[in-house]
Structures are given as structure tokens and as C-alpha cells.
Chain A
Amino acid sequence: MGIKLLLANDHIEGIRFYDAYRKNGGYSAAEKALKLAAGDIVEEVKKSGLRGRGGAGFPTGLKWSFLAKPEGVPRYLVCNADESEPGTFKDRYLMEFIPHLLIEGMIIASYALGSNRAYIYIRGEYAWIVDILEQAIAEANQNGFLGKNILGTGFDCQIYVQRGAGAYICGEETALIESLEGKRGNPRIKPPFPAVKGLWDSPTVVNNVETLAAVVPIMNMGGTEYARIGVGKSTGTKLISACGNINKPGVYEIDMTISVEEFIYSDEYCGGIANGKQLKACIPGGSSVPILPANLLLKTAKGEPRMMNYESLSDGGFATGSMMGSGGFEVLDEDQCIVRHTLSLARFYHHESCGQCSPCREGTGWMKRILHNIEYGKGKMSDIDLLWDIQRNIEGNTICPLGDAAAWPVAAAIRHFRDEFEWHVLNPEDCLKSNYGIGRYAEPLETA
């Protein structure tokens, strides 16, 4: 049984509401934190080694300490709850069932950053969660954890919930800020970074829901204690939203010491592949990270077992590794077609490209059309190389990471499953009826 910090109390009835949450030790971290100096909290978070849980994995304490603090300018904390990555639903679970954990984390973070206004930018599709959050904020207000002069410390803080309008791009922090300001959600060109010029040209910190929630256990147990959980630079616990062809899809909290194999096959977590099938491939961190075939997923190129943490998942770079990403763990069994899967991702990124910079705007649509042709038996052999060329020219040449996110899945699919693409081209009629099959992907990697 792994350590549970965020989801320790999620089985308790009524934990969604203030009374039950308070009874189970809720808001004790806020009480503790508000007695400390703001700088000490940042130090504590730095000590904990907490890394951003939104995808990039940037150290949170470092991000907080980068926040510019000019005189007379307000600072803002923005919670990025625009969780739109296909396959990621950990934030939804957190906000839906334990909203007070997020509120408490935001109070501590606001105090640490000196921000009197905090915003939760929530995905438009999570309409019912807005009500849950607003109720939680109202309860926190009634009990003196929000509003003016919180707990007699003289610190004022208010949290506002803002609904997005359903654009994936608004999960990018600068696009989120633009959208929050009421503008078109186009990512800004960096620099300046939000830590210097963010919301309404004021210094802003944008953090993921899970990151802010993780501040609560850090305050409760102390940064050094928190850093002891996990391995190396992957400290603490991480929520993984597992989905796909597994027996037990859902949100799991892991302490980053277990292996991928254990995570997929143990009964505590995913419970193995559904219907007794074999594992073919897996996207370990949300749709935008590279897909890995089973042999590379369970073992790294060096032959070591791959663990569920930031370093091990990205071991081998993009050639033989992937990324922790946002924790959307998508498992594909032997019956799944990689080309079709890549097409559905390409279609998503084509649909969600904001259209601001040319490589992403034009390239995503082009990739989608070529993949569509290959999937429906109209592809040519040269199309595969063309796809590779397009993704190479999108990646790194765009304003925001959406271009990279669109390019990586295509690149990885071609890199690891090129024979499947070729099979689609060579067997245009069969590819409409059946799948290429599992091939070598379930075999353990033979290393020289």
C-alpha cells in the first residue's frame, strides 16, 4: 500500500463539505502556515522538491521564488484547472471530491506569494465542479479562512472561480492569463514570463490544481519529510489518471517508487489489461507525450525496469523514453490501432490549435489529413516520411508548447510503430477491417 497524501481522506463521506473536511484535519495546514513568514513557506516548498504537476515538472518552490515583487503592484495566484489533456482527469477528481484541499492549498500559496486575489481558471466543460468549488469557497469564507483578516493575521485573500469556454490552448499559462483577462486565448510570446508580467501586467504565478493541493501535505508534514517520499528529484506523491484497456481505470495516488509494470498489473492499481489481452503500448503522461511500445515501457533501453517517476519515464530521451507529463496514463491493448490512435490525437490538436503561429496552424491540419489518408487506406509510402518531416518542422518552432505537443505523438508513433504505418499503406483494404496486431511490442526488449 503506497503512501496517500492527497487522497488519504477521499473515502470519507461528506469530505466535499467543510465540516467533514475540518473534522479530518482540514485547514490545519493553513493555520500552521499563516503563523509563519511568507518566505519560510516558499523555503519549505523548495525543500520539499515539489515539481509542477501540470506537465512540465518545473520545481514549484523555484517558480514561487522567481515571482517579481515590485512595490505597489498587486500579485496574483492563478490555479490552472483547465485540465483538457485527453486522458488526464486527476484534477477533476480532486476538485470534485475534495475541493477544500485545493482551497486550503491556494490560501497557503496566496499567503506565501502575497497575493490577495487568487483565481481558479476552470475548464468550461467542468460546469458542475464550478458549483462545488463556489460552495467550498463560500464555506471557507464563512469560517474565516477566506476574506478579510484571515485568522487574525491581517492577511486578506479572496478566491474567484472563472470558467473557460472550452479551449485546450487556455491550459497554457499565458493563454490562460489572456483568457482570464477576457481576451482571445492566444498564448503570449515569452519573455516576459508571467512571474514578471502576467495577469493585468502584474506578477503572476500559475500552478496546477494538484500542485497547489500538494502544498497542504507539505505544510502539514514539513518540506524535508515530504522530500523523503519518492526517489531522487521526484518527491512526494503523484496522481495518475489511468484509462484505456485496463481492468480498473481511475485516479490513483502513487509515491513514485513503484515500477510501471507494477502499476499496470497490480490489483492495487490498474489491475492488468482488460479481457486478458496483451499490453501493446502506453502513453504514460497525457496525450501529448510520446507513446511507448510495451517493451520500452516496462524496461528502459538499458534494461532496467522503468519506474513511475519523472526521471525514469524520461530515461533515454524521446528516442526510447517518454515523459511523466500530467499523469494521464493511457494503456492500449493488442487490439488497438496505433495509426487510428495517432489520427485521433492529431485531429484533437488540429482542432485545438489557436491559429496564431503558422507552423502549428497549418502543420497540425496537414498531419491530420495525411494520417486520415493512411488510416483509410489512401496513404502512400512517402506520406510517412512526409509526416516525419512535418512534425520535425513544427516542433520547437512555435510560440507555445502546443506545437510540440502535436508533434511528439506523431513522431513517437512513427519512431516506434513505423511497420504498422507501412502495413496500412501496403494493405489498404485490410487496414479498414483489422488491426496490424501486436507484433513484437509485448516482447521484452533484448539489449545487447
Chain B
Amino acid sequence: MEETKKDPPQFFKVTIDNITVEVAPGTSILNAARSIGGDVAPPAMCYYSKLEGSGGKCRTCLVEVAAGSTADPRPMPKLVASCRTNVMDGMIVKNITSEKVIDARKHIVEFLLLNHPLDCPICDQAGECSLQDLSYGHGDIGTRYEFQRRLFEREDIGPYIQLHMTRCILCYRCTYVADQLTDKRVHGILDRGEHAEISTYISKAIDNDFSGNMIDVCPVGALTDRTFRFKNRVWFLKPLDAHRDCDKCCGKVTLWNRGEEVYRVTSRKDKWGEVESYDGKPGWICNTCRFEKKKTSDWIIEGPRKISRQSVISAGHYVGVKKPNEIFSAVHDGRKPRLLMDIHKVSEINEPHIELSRIEGPATGAVFNNGSNQQAE
């Protein structure tokens, strides 16, 4: 991600889906693909560039390496996790141009959704859920799983966060947050395999100042804000950029308002769903900013937050809509579209010689056909 300025600039050329980019050595394939953007960037459920050691677990970002490097142009035998594989000079990567990758990804989505309850209608994450986007973009219709899905009890971990383990896809992001942002980590993964769950050790409350960031990094609705639960749908809220002076964190947040009321406060997320960086530091926010400053007067509002046009959150907001200035005839430029014809002139139904009130029973097309009018009369 960050280019090293000390060394003489040396770049690796990497070709992803026939697009060649130059990136600094040590960049992962995923980040190289993100620098191209668009569909070339593989989806990532567990990788989070601001959390050290994350990635490699969900396997949605698998790509095919058609040539390892200029020096060793052999293809890699297996699909590799692009988030944890670094680029080499002359590497050729196939993402959406590889049928193998698309097929594998489709089934990874199926695996991820296997034990997911799909309770989106009652889930607070709906509308900003990475898993929703992923299954929409890469998944298959329906599932072939016919068994009981795994269930867990809901658990309150601390006064602010609720854990809904049933929805969890075990991306491990929140444990990295707990590990790297907070001191005295009290939560992690218990058990193994299908029974693995995020939990606190002996039902401890998480009350660290930065624990709220777990909600932001959670790609699904497993960790939700208790102060926001069931209050509102995210797409009814208006995101606003705001800041305040905070001695613990950067204080740069997104307020989610409805009218004047602040429903929730989150950190600012970039287009990959990660928190934005300020001066090279990730913009994590503290719990005071997140949970306790719920008045507009607490904040200095900068302006509306830009949300991707594709997101359901921006639906109905009509941001950037252009009204046409020209009159109709100028727009039509001599053409006469049929849509604008007089419906009374072409429709037999409206012919005045048929007395509609005299038709018995349900009217059919035959009633209005030429010559069959007598039946009605």
C-alpha cells in the first residue's frame, strides 16, 4: 500500500485480468488489484488492510496465478489467496477472466452462507453488509444445504455491543481489533471447526475504549451496536461527515441522521468498507465518540457523506441528479415517439358505440373485436 521512499523506486509489473499495473514490491495481489479498482478487485471478507495479520481465511479472494514471475513463469498449481500473496515482477493474475476462480468463488459463497441464518430482514447490518454484497455479486441462487443450520444464543458483550454468533462467518477481524487496538484482550475464538465461536472468556464484558471498532470491522451483522439495534434501517438515514475534538481518537466520524436526530455514529469507511486513514493512521474512533455523543450539537458537521451510487443507502436520495433544460420538441429532434400518441384514437375499448355498462360478465377481447359488437348489444 505505502510506497517506500527510501529505496530507489523499484516497481513490480503485474498483470491482473490483462490490465498491467506497477506496484511497489511487497504489495499483495489484492491491493494491486484494488489499485486498478472495479470488478478486477477480488472481494474480501476477512482481509482488512489496517489490521495486521488479517486475511487468508474466508477464501473469497482466491485468484489464479497464470505466471509466477518473469524469472519463474510457471503457474501456481492451486488458486491462491490474493490478500496474502505478494506480487512478483511479471506476475500474471487471472481474477474474473478465469472460470476456475469464478466457479470456486461461487462455491465459497455457498460455504459461507451454509450456516448463515439469512435473517437479513431483521438484521441491522442489512444494507451495508459485505456478505449481502458478496452473495449478490458472486453467489448462486439458492443453496443445496438441507440440514439444520448452526445456532447460538445471542450474547451481550459489554454495554454497547451485542454478539449474534449465528450470523458470524469467522473472519477473525474483531479478534485482531481486540488484539491490536485494545489492551487486555478478553475475547477470542473458542472451540474449533463448525462449533468455533467468538466469545469472551467467562462472559466478561468488553469495556475497552476502542472495542466499538469491532462493530465497524465486522463484515456481517454478528457484532451490532446496542445503542442502534432496531432503531432504524441504514437506508433511511442520512450519512453526514462530522468531527469533534477528541483526546482519545481522531474524532472524524460519520453521523447517521434522520432529521436532526443522530441515530448512530460510525467511523468513516472507504469504498472497500475499511476505515479511512488520516496522516497514515487508520481513523479508528473511541467508544465515547461512537456511543455517547448522540446529539448534533456535539459535532461539527462537514457535509453529506458520499455513498456509492450502487449502495442501497443512497437509494432515494437522488444525489447529483441533473434536470434537463431543453423542451420536449428539442429533445425529440424531429422524431415522433409512439408513446406520445393519443390513446383514445387507437384503442377500440374507448370507441363510443360500445356501451360498457351493458356488457355482461367479465369483458374479453372478443367483446371489442369488430363485428362481434352485436353480442354485447
Contacts and interface: CB of A to CB of B under 8 A. Distances in A.
A354 B104 contact: no
A399 B56 contact: yes
Interface in A381-417: 386, 389, 393, 396-399
B188 A366 contact: no
Contacts of A355: 170, 189, 191-196
> Which range holds the interface residue count of chain B?
20 to 34
Contacts of A396: 77-79
B56 A361 contact: no
Q: 9 nearest interchain CB pairs? A: A355-B196, A393-B107, A189-B56, A353-B193, A362-B111, A362-B114, A396-B78, A355-B193, A365-B194
Interface string B33-74: 000000000000000000000011111001000000000000
Nearest to B56: A189
Main secondary structure of the interface of B (DSSP, over half): loop
- In this complex, the member of A355, A362, A389 whose beta carbon has the largest number of chain B beta carbons within 10 angstroms is A362
Given A358-B57, A358-B169, 4 more contacts: A350-B193, A352-B192, A354-B193, A397-B62
Nearest to A189: B56
Contacts of A184: 188-189
A359 interface: yes
A374 B315 CA distance: 47
Contacts of B114: 362, 366
B111 A363 contact: yes
B72 to A, nearest CB: 14
B170 A386 contact: no
A352 B193 contact: yes
20 contacts: A350-B194, A351-B193, A353-B192, A354-B192, A355-B170, A355-B189, A355-B192, A358-B111, A358-B112, A358-B169, A361-B111, A361-B193, A366-B114, A369-B147, A386-B144, A393-B108, A393-B111, A397-B59, A397-B62, A398-B59
B51 to A, nearest CB: 14
Given A189-B81, A397-B79, A359 B111 contact: yes
A369 B147 CA distance: 8
A78 interface: no
A369 B81 CA distance: 28
A356 interface: yes
A343 to B, nearest CB: 15
Nearest to A187: B56
Nearest to A351: B193
Nearest to A399: B56
Interface in A112-167: 167
A237 to B, nearest CB: 31
A399 B59 CA distance: 9
A5 interface: no
B115 interface: yes
Interface string A333-369: 0000000000000000011111111110111111001
Nearest to A184: B189
A206 interface: no
Interface string A271-314: 00000000000000000000000000000000000000000000
B167 interface: no
Nearest to A356: B57
- In this complex, the member of B78, B107, B112 whose beta carbon has the largest number of chain A beta carbons within 10 angstroms is B107
Contacts of A365: 193-194
Interface string A174-213: 0000000000100001000000000000000000000000
B11 interface: no
B252 interface: no
A386 B114 CA distance: 14
B195 A362 contact: no
A169 interface: yes
Contacts of B136: none
Given A189-B84, A366-B114, A361 B59 contact: no
Nearest to A396: B78
Interface string B174-190: 00000000000000110
Contacts of B79: 396-397
Given A352-B193, A366-B145, A386-B144, A357 B112 contact: no
B193 to A, nearest CB: 4
B366 to A, nearest CB: 47
A362 B57 contact: no
Contacts of B172: 356
Interface string B109-152: 01110110000000000000000000000000000110100000
Interface string B252-267: 0000000000000000
B147 A361 contact: no
Nearest to B81: A189
Contacts of B194: 350, 353, 355, 361-362, 364-365
Contacts of B189: 184, 355
Contacts of B170: 355-356, 358, 361
Contacts of A351: 193
Contacts of A393: 104, 107-108, 110-111
Interface string B75-100: 00111010010000000000000000
Contacts of B62: 397
B82 to A, nearest CB: 12
Contacts of B196: 354-355, 361
Contact of A359 (B108, B145, B195): B108
A358 B108 contact: yes
Contacts of A357: 56-59
Contacts of B81: 189, 399
B192 A362 contact: no
Nearest to B189: A184
A259 B145 CA distance: 44
Contacts of B110: 393
Contacts of B195: 355
Interface string A244-284: 00000000000000000000000000000000000000000
Nearest to B190: A184
A61 B115 CA distance: 45
A167 B191 CA distance: 11
